[in-house]
Amino acid sequence: MMIEQVRKENPLIHCMTNVVVTNFTANGLLALGASPVMAYAKEEVADLAQIAGALLLNIGTLSTEQIDHMIIAGQAANEANVPVVLDPVGAGATSFRTTMSKRILEEVKVSVLRGNAGEIASLLGVQATVKGVDGSMEGDKIELAKQAAKQFNCVCVVTGEVDVITDGSVVKTVANGHPWLTKVVGTGCLLGAVIGAFIAVERENLVEAATTAVTFFGIAGEQAFQQTNEQGIGSFQEAFLNQLHTLTDDQMKQLRRNEA
């Protein structure tokens, strides 16, 4: 009943995200039934983070100044017991991104760390390929996610063809999703915000909340593909937003493919 809960509670999600995906993230959250606010100024980020249901920190188009402001927001969220999601976009592509992601993890208590395998591997110093914002790694993604969850004391979500969600001991995997999700920029970034909306309404069980968010997102991608595969990717993006808006808990129960 978690989707209904999100739509009922309409949680405010404070997003400090990148310039590429800002509009898509706001529209995705609205479609889902959450309430987005994008705010970056040091004069207001603490105030907003403290009244939000969750705070999203996404370093996609970072600057040192922006990271400083993210840390102000993150620490304010921590004080107010507001969960924080971190998306370390492009960690591993440059040492600046890796260093800044680690700085956030050191200075802010992050509830959920979400990235592709290459990004998460880079934070752990594991061999990975990260080309721009697209990353991959060979090897065991479950072990990778567990290691990150333990090292950074958070729930780690590693996305890809199969998604892994773990707090270091409980492990869930989600096979839902569609390759076309990788052909629309910002789906990974929007997923971070959607995880924020689900953990805002289910703070007690973050693994369950993040798994539901990832499953919901993957099914929305599958349904959107079925509706638009003959038209193409532009129509898919629109259909995907429609799915975020209309998919129900009952549909999700029928269509979910959780492996563990």
Q: How far is the CB of 243 from ligand ATP (least distance, A)?
A: 12
CA angle at residue 207 from 257 to 158, to 5 degrees? 70
Within residues 79-138, the interface with Mg ion by CB under 5 A covers 89
13 Cβ contact partners less than 8 Å away, ≥ 6 residues apart: 29, 34, 35, 36, 37, 52, 53, 54, 55, 56, 193, 196, 197, 200
Is residue 144 close enough to count as binding ligand ATP by CB under 6 A?
no
The site map against ligand ATP for 177-216 (x = CB under 6 A) is: xxx-xx----xx--x-------------------------
**CB-based contact 143:99 (threshold 8 Å):** no
- If you count them, how many residues does the chain have? 260
Is residue 213 a contact partner of residue 194, using CB atoms and an 8 Å limit? yes
Give the residue nearest to ligand TZP (CB): 60
- Smallest distance, ligand ATP to C-beta of residue 181, A: 3
Q: By CB under 6 A, is residue 206 in contact with ligand TZP?
A: no
- To the question of whether residue 38 is assigned a binding role by annotation, the answer is yes
Of all residues in the shown chain, the one whose CB is closest to ligand ATP is: 188
Say whether 12 sits in a helix, a strand or coil. strand
Q: How far is CA 194 from CA 41, 82, 106, 137, in A?
A: 23, 15, 24, 25
Min dist CB 182 to ligand ATP, Å, is 4
CB of 18 to ligand TZP, least distance (A): 4
Query: What span, in angstroms and rounded, lies between the C-alpha atoms of 35 and 113?
Result: 21
Query: Which parts are annotated binding residues for ATP?
Result: 114, 159
Interface contacts to ligand TZP, rule CB under 6 A: 18, 20-21, 60-61, 89, 133, 185-189
Query: Which parts are annotated binding residues?
Result: 38, 114, 159, 186
